[in-house]
Chain A
Amino acid sequence: MTRRETPLLPATDAREAALFFVIGALCFLAALAALTTRGTYKAAEAWGAQIEGDLTVIMRSVDRRTAEDVADRVEVLANVFEARVLTREEVETLLEPSLGPGGMPEGLPIPMLMTVQADMAVGDPSPDIQRILAEMSVDGDVAGNAGYAENVRGALGVLRLVALSIVALLSATAIAVIAFATHAALLARRDIVDVLHLSGAEDRFIAGLFERRFWILALQAGLGGAVAALMVTALIVFTGSGSQGVEAQLLPRLSLDFWDIVILLVTPVAAGLAARMAARLTVLNSLKDTL
């Protein structure tokens, strides 16, 4: 009867358990940072699109009925989601920061304001609104947020860059720490490398043993970290989906779509490859000292 062969490398010890934890924690942070960065990208895009799509139409010397007729015609435009004439109270609220509380004197002529939410991806409706105003003989102008949106776009660009830099830095740090920790864990196994070497094992054979060992260890640890990141993201997605208001719009929009799953799958593979490469280089370098 053939004997069962014990693996040439001993079972995981305390040092490797620590390495497992380090890799898991780093993968968790890296995956969460990558998901948050994607969320930041999506939030920035949505917020930018919303600002650019908000238009205000000022109509002078018209009654409310005429202004609402204009709104009805504007709303049927293909690239308009909504057109609504503001009430006098809403206009007063808007002017309150300039005029102070207490409202405006009765009889003070104020223009009718209409807010338009447009889908800028389809096209800017400003020329069509201007045409409708002319056709209905209404003295009015369309004010876009182009200047403001430009500033916001710039700020969001910086935000994206910062988020991307954090992910790049964290990923690079994670890979470096994984490589270093693998190197340290492997040096503790130098005795086994020596025994195998002196038993006539070729460099590739010895390196292969350690590569497989640390590849599997890092893959498992990375998978653990990715699953933890998935759970945290899921928790945020499901508990935070009800958030409304400006704050909610500014926060990263976490989701769990195809690319998020790709990020979660790539993270442990990258950790495994880093550990595998570090193991290979460490073994080959340590054998380079020998004949």
Chain B
Amino acid sequence: MARFRPDLSDEPAVRLDGVSLSYERTGEVLSEIDLVLRQGSFTFLTGPSGAGKSSLLKLMYLAHAPTRGGIRLFGRQTYDLKRKQLAALRRRIGVVFQEFRLLDHLTAFENVALPLRVAGQKADAYQNEVIDLLRWVGLGERVDAPIPSLSGGEQQRVAIARALINKPDLLIADEPTGNVDPEMGRKILRLFAELNKRVGTTILIATHDLELLREFDSPVLRLANGLLVRDVEYGGAE
């Protein structure tokens, strides 16, 4: 497996230069990662459990700072940004988690509206937009449903709608199909592909579901032992 060193084009959505990440307990989990995600690209990230997929995504959605190296998002270096600027940048990124991370005491509508609400928008300004998005993910009938009453697939679709409500420039999904059945997983990925095609959102999906990857003609990045390599077996395109 050859070390993957992609072309470094101008103003990509994401650019990682020699990024390493170490945790105090486990030591180095990512080593000298160079990566570019072009704007409007649709990319898969795969690798065995513990390879560092989630850690790499956390760096991209600004949950952690790298131990070494630089991260540029939408052309902006992130290491010297103030916390307020980071919060603003974070609003351009939608994140979908495997474990959904929804707030159980809120309804589907309120969970989806959360990014708008914390940005200070009023409910009457975003009401229709949220409902439309819930309809798009197939939850038009469950708008006011409490989260615990939804199935795993429905909860994941609420999480997707929440990630999309800000019309993000970058959508990062960490094992979005991990807690749903294969059919629902396929639907979810098709939803992402449609979004990428229609709106041009840059999408990066971490998954270990190799069967699912075969259905999409998209670049696949592979993490192994903290190193990023290109996987030529699936997807193929860079």
Q: Which A residues fall within an 8 A CB radius of B?
A: 2-3, 5-6, 8, 10-11, 191-192, 194-203, 205, 290-291
Contacts and interface: CB of A to CB of B under 8 A. Distances in A.
B104 A290 contact: no
A3 B109 contact: yes
Contact of A290 (B63, B95, B117, B124): B63
Interface of B: 61-65, 78, 83-84, 86-88, 90-91, 95, 101-107, 109-110, 114-115, 117-119, 122-124, 127, 162, 166
Contacts of A198: 61, 63, 90, 95, 101
Contacts of A196: 114, 118
A192 B123 contact: no
Contacts of A6: 105-107, 110
A202 B83 contact: yes
Contact of A2 (B86, B115, B118, B123): B123
Interface-centre pick from A191, A196, A201, A291 (highest chain B CB count, 10 A): A291
B105 A202 contact: no
B114 A199 contact: yes
B88 A200 contact: yes
Contacts of A10: 103-105
A200 B101 contact: no
Contacts of B110: 5-6
A191 B95 CA distance: 15
A11 B115 CA distance: 21
A195 B127 contact: no
Contact of A11 (B65, B95, B105): B105
Nearest to A191: B101
B104 A200 contact: no
Nearest to B146: A6
A11 to B, nearest CB: 7
A195 B110 CA distance: 13
A290 B64 contact: yes
- Residue with the highest number of chain A CB atoms closer than 10 Å, among B84, B103, B109, B117: B103
Nearest to B110: A6
Contacts of B86: 291
Contacts of B78: 291
A196 B63 CA distance: 12
Given A8-B118, A202-B83, A203-B87, 4 more contacts: A5-B110, A8-B106, A195-B102, A199-B162
Nearest to B59: A291
B103 A5 contact: no
A196 B88 CA distance: 13
Nearest to A11: B105
A291 B63 contact: yes
B83 A195 contact: no
A192 B103 CA distance: 7
A199 B115 contact: yes
A197 B63 CA distance: 9
Contacts of B65: 291
Nearest to A290: B63
Contacts of A290: 63-64
6 contacts: A2-B127, A6-B106, A10-B105, A198-B90, A199-B114, A291-B65
B62 A291 contact: yes
Contacts of B91: 200
B45 to A, nearest CB: 18
